[in-house]
Structures are given as C-alpha cells and as structure tokens.
C-alpha cells in the first residue's frame, strides 16, 4: 500500500537533486518566487539561493531574469500565447507598404511595423497575420510574376 502512494506522488510531482519538491511543468508557488527575489535583493548569490530554497539554479536564474526584465514574479502563461492578429490600422499600413514596395516579404513588413513605431514587440502581429493581408492585397492588385513568387516562398 505504501508503494502505491509513492507511485501516485511521483506521477504528479517529485523531489529534485537538492531535495526540493516540485510538480513537473507547473510553476513554483508565488511565495517561493517572492523569497527568491527577496534573497537576491539582500545580495545572496543565485547559487546560494538555489541551495537554500532547494530550487534548481536554472529555475532561480529564470525567475530573477524575468523579474529584472519585467518587474514581475508571475510565471509565464502555460500553453503558450495566442497568435497576435493585425488590427485594421495595421492592415492599412501593410497595404501602404505593399504599394510602396510590392516585393516586400512578410517578415520585412513585420520589421518595418516595429521600426516605424506602428507596433511594439507586444503588439506586432504574427507572420501569418501579416502574410494574409499581403495575399489579399496581391489578389486585388496584380503584381509581376517575380513579386508573386516572393510572397509564395515567404509563407
């Protein structure tokens, strides 16, 4: 009976090499994340934080890196992010870019949206969301064979 409980626990969680408990694929509790940041503010080195809290060095580094970058201790979203779609304003700008340079690749358009300040890293649409207006624009505005081939290979 005791083995059954051990097997059931291992399926949902485990013990790392430092003796700390974890559940694979799940974020550390916020209290542990907060403690990591507090210790770092006190000048404790990440390797010492790792040993003290029994959390892997990689996990400590990742949490501190995110904290220094964003100011947040919250974990990333489980399951990835949803695709970023182009707003009507961005679609209009994509059409402008295609009028100015019909042979632009979708990735070039995406870079230009960032460079021109139309979007930032959080709002720039995915390549698929950029490519769709490009394809629609091409259907409405026939281009040379060369530009058509560039868009086909760009997708």
Where is the domain boundary, 14, 40, 70? Answer: 70
Position 78 pLDDT exceeds 70: no
Residue 56 has pLDDT above 50, yes or no: yes
Give CA–CA dist 58/65, Å, rounded. 10
Domain check: are 97 and 38 in the same one?
A: no
24: containing domain: 2-70
In a domain, 113, yes or no: yes
Return the number of other C-beta atoms located less than 10 Å from residue 49's C-beta: 23
| Residue 80 forms part of a structural domain | no
Q: Does one domain contain both 33 and 63? A: yes
How does DSSP classify residue 22?
E
**Tell me, what's the pLDDT at 3?**
45
Q: What is the pLDDT of residue 146?
A: 42
What's the CATH number where 30 sits? 1.10.10.10
Q: pLDDT, tens digit, for every residue of 25-35?
A: 677 888 889 99
Whether the pLDDT of residue 21 is over 60: the answer is yes
Higher pLDDT, 112 or 21: 112
CA distance 107 to 153: 12
Query: Are 25 and 62 found together in one domain?
Result: yes
**Residue 79 lies inside a defined structural domain of this protein:** no
- Taking the CA atoms of residue 86, residue 92, residue 95 and residue 99 in that order, the dihedral angle to the nearest 10 degrees is -150
Residue 22's φ and ψ, nearest 5 degrees, are -155, 160
Among the candidates 70, 100, 118, a domain finishes at 70
Residue 60: inside a domain, yes or no? Answer: yes
Report the mean per-residue pLDDT for the chain. 75
The sign of the CA dihedral 9, 13, 16, 18 is negative
Total number of domains in the chain? 2
DSSP H helix total and E strand total for the chain: 8, 2
pLDDT at 144 over 60: no
> Would the pLDDT of 67 be above 80?
yes
Domain end (from 70, 101, 125): 70
Give CA–CA dist 7/140, Å, rounded.
Answer: 62
Rounded Cα–Cα distance for residues 101 and 99 (Å): 6
Q: What length does the chain have? A: 155
CA 2, CA 19: separation in Å to the nearest integer?
A: 20
Residues 29, 65 within the same domain: yes
Local structure of residue 128 (DSSP, 8 states): H
Partnered with residue 21 across adjacent β-strands are 15
């Amino acid at each position: 009976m005791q083995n059954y409980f051990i097997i059931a626990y291992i399926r949902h969680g485990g013990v790392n090499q430092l003796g700390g408990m974890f559940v694979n694929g799940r974020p550390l509790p916020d209290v542990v994340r907060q403690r990591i940041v507090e210790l770092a503010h006190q000048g404790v080195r990440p390797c010492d934080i790792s040993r003290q809290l029994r959390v892997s060095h990689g996990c400590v580094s990742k949490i501190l890196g995110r904290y220094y970058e964003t100011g947040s201790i919250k974990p990333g979203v489980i399951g990835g992010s949803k695709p970023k779609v182009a707003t009507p304003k961005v679609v209009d700008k994509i059409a402008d870019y295609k009028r100015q340079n019909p042979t632009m690749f979708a990735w070039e358009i995406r870079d230009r949206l960032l460079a021109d300040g139309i979007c930032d890293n959080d709002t720039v649409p995915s390549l698929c969301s950029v490519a769709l207006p490009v394809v629609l624009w091409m259907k409405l505005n026939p281009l040379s064979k060369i530009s058509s081939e560039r868009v086909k290979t760009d997708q």
